[in-house]
Structure 1
Amino acid sequence: MTDNSDSNIATADALTLLLHNQHAIGAAIDELTKWLSENGAETVAHNAVVAMEILDTNAKALTEAIMRLRQS
């Protein structure tokens, strides 16, 4: 049977990878948002900004969960 700390480490590692993916997606959306704004698609750019805000909120929650897992 796997030790609970081993499970926590594996879970934290998986969440860390998801967090890195989330940051990469956010960076891509940011670039697209800039391009959309510069090319007259302000409404779409605004929707992308809203999506990025959700990513940021979720990234904070993921970071907190990772820290709790790594400390346990």
Structure 2
Amino acid sequence: MASEYSLADVLERMYENQLALEAAIMELVLWTEERGELTTGGNVRGALQTLGENAGHIKQGLAKLKKQDRQ
């Protein structure tokens, strides 16, 4: 049963989860900053920046895996 899912498929789902979590956390940051917690908002924005940077690498890695799967 597990063989139905390729590594690229599983990693793509994890990538999509990362994007969803990033969006949800950004909503919380905006809510927090509206209430005057700018330091907390700034700290979380720093973490979100790291998520965004890593998302690019993940997307490139997924593209390479998918290309290998097709060959």
Aligned residue number for residue 38 of structure 2: 42
Runs of 5+ in structure 2 lacking a partner? Answer: none
Q: State the superposition RMSD in angstroms.
A: 1.4
Structure with the greater relative contact order (CA < 8 A, sep ≥ 6): 1 or 2? 1
Counterpart among 4, 16, 28 of residue 20 in structure 1 = 16
TM-score for the superposition, normalised by structure 1: 0.84
Q: Which runs of 4+ in 1 moved over 6 A?
A: none
TM-score for the superposition, normalised by structure 2: 0.85
Runs of 5+ in structure 1 lacking a partner? Answer: 1-5
> Residue 11 of structure 1: CA displacement?
1.0
